[in-house]
Chains A and B, each alone.
Chain A
Amino acid sequence: MSRGNEAILTRGSEAVMNRVATKPVSKRGEVAMLPFKHLISSNQLTPEVLSELFAATDHMKNVCERRGRSPLLASRVVALLFYEPSSRTMLSFQSAAQRLYAGVLFAQGKESSALKKRETLHDSMSVFSGYCDAIIMRHPDKGSAEKAAAACAVPFINAGDGGNEHPTQALIDAYTIHKELGRLDNLHVAFGFDPLQSRSIHSLAFLLAQYPGSEFTFVSPEPLAAGREFLNTLKKSGVTCHESNDLAALKDADVIYLNRLQEERFENSDDFERYRRLYVLQPEMIGPKQRLILDPLPRIDEIALAVDELPQAAYFRQAHNGVAVRMALLVTMLKGVGGGAREED
């Protein structure tokens, strides 16, 4: 793989994200709880939005632990369109929807879809908008989320668009960091080992870049180094960025965020095999300075099994936060509130 393949990161345009000063109002006259209709990029997850989503997530965790389910979305139907393989994102969205009593529609794999018959994404989304109250889509192409959302009459959630972004994963990651460390500002985060192609790394970096005092170190083999455009965007946001091909660079970080090498995005499988054995986090690389180790999973080789025993290893707790985080997102994006209200009631 060459630098020519560098990820071109597309970030949702203002128009498509419906970023507005006041909260959007639906055709039923309901006020949305969040200041956007579609979630395309993690840069929409501002500190204000996160504060609401974290409160809603805490509530959903309690609901899951105490009652298991809540009828909050009993009158809603969501569509899960997964045009690229997924198990945990798809299952956790399904679990989230079902724990909220929402109906769930499924379409999996490009092979079985109308996209195979050359229907455009635009037409597919226009049609599916009439079947449901929200569309959650994963697609192998960078930038597909923004295109799809532009045709969606109902709220749209990007569940991963190629190597571009994965904002709901960033939401889970940010919630986990906040729960474990109590803050999102002034953190030194080391990202590895495929910052070129990992959408989870891109989305979390964009999210944390909104907070003061962020410092990032990207650790990877040289050909998988972070894209220049990506780094420039972060630097413009005021983030101090470092790059290294040496695992020793992990030692200064508060948080180590690792993601598997993105095998499906390698053109040459020999490169993949070579790098996956070189970049492995071992327990002896972790000291008291490093307070948290995260990985969106699945794990391939990037974290040795022995690391699991360390108290800083939070990746399974991180995974378990996924359902409550997605419940909170679904409720706040789908359940507008409307009708005639009186201020003091």
Chain B
Amino acid sequence: MNLTRKAVIMNQEEMRRAILRISYEIIEANRGIADLVLVGIRKRGAPLAERVQKHLKEIEGVQVPLGVLDITLYRDDISAIGANPLVESTEIPVSIENKVVVLVDDVIFTGRTVRAALDAVMDYGRPRSIQLAVLLDRGHRELPIRADYVGRQVPTSLREIVKVCVQETDGSDEVTISEIGEE
């Protein structure tokens, strides 16, 4: 696939501020952090959830339980071309019965990843509620799913690719937008 990089739409500082704001919004919406469980969706939701956990600790002084979710077994949308589904571990270290689960992911697009994540979480227990935090919402939903906490809304075309890079796996923090070129 021929990709042309168009712009950096978030730099390291902008990402930090967005995640910090999301952390405050989570506290505000839930009137504190009692009963919260953070669950990052692999891959890039996991390090972002860890950052939210760190902010919550700094603000409220309490460590919120953190899990990581692999949704490969639950997906319905990996295309035959170029996809190589790889099952990795899911670790949710506490019971989520009657807890408020906050799912964290990098981008919300069609909504299918979140649908798969909801199924996966339900197989682990029955939370009181499930909320969703994303760094970016790029539109084009195919399912009636929305995020509760959004770092930035980014209008995109279907020819564009939004890529979130994080220090932990990519060596730097930035969000870029690229366009798929003509074949």
Chain A residues with CB under 8 Å of chain B are 22-23, 25, 29-31, 33, 52-53, 55-56, 58-59, 62-63, 66-67, 70-72, 331-332, 335, 337-345
Chain B contacts for A66, CB-based, 8 A: 95, 123-125
Of the candidates A52, A58, A70, A337, the one whose C-beta lies within 8 Å of that of B78 is: A337
**What is the CA–CA distance of A71 and B161 in the complex, to the nearest angstrom?**
32
List which B58-92 residues lie within 8 A (CB) of chain A.
70, 72-80, 82-90, 92
Query: Given that A66-B125, A70-B123, A344-B107 are known contacts, is A31 also in contact with B83, CB under 8 Å in the complex?
Result: yes
Query: Given that A31-B78, A341-B77 are known contacts, is A23 also in contact with B84, CB under 8 Å in the complex?
Result: yes
Main secondary structure on B side of the interface with A:
loop
B43 → chain A closest CB, angstroms: 11
Residue of A nearest to B163 (CB): A344
Of the candidates B70, B95, B112, the one whose C-beta lies within 8 Å of that of A55 is: B70
A55 → chain B closest CB, angstroms: 4
Residue of A nearest to B126 (CB): A67
Q: Are A29 and B124 in contact (CB under 8 A)?
A: no
Of the candidates A29, A56, A341, A345, the one whose C-beta lies within 8 Å of that of B87 is: A56
Chain B contacts for A53, CB-based, 8 A: 87
Q: What mask results when residues 84 to 128 of chain B are scored 1 for a CB within 8 Å of chain A, else 0? A: 111111101001000000000011111111000001001111000
B162 at the interface (CB under 8 A from A): yes
Residue of A nearest to B111 (CB): A345
> Could you list 18 examples of A-B contacts with CB < 8 Å?
A22-B84, A31-B79, A31-B85, A52-B87, A55-B89, A59-B73, A59-B89, A59-B90, A71-B119, A337-B75, A339-B78, A340-B77, A341-B77, A344-B107, A345-B108, A345-B109, A345-B110, A345-B112
B164 at the interface (CB under 8 A from A): yes
A sample of 6 more A-B contacts (CB under 8 A), given A31-B80, A70-B123, A345-B77, is A30-B80, A31-B78, A55-B70, A58-B89, A337-B83, A343-B82
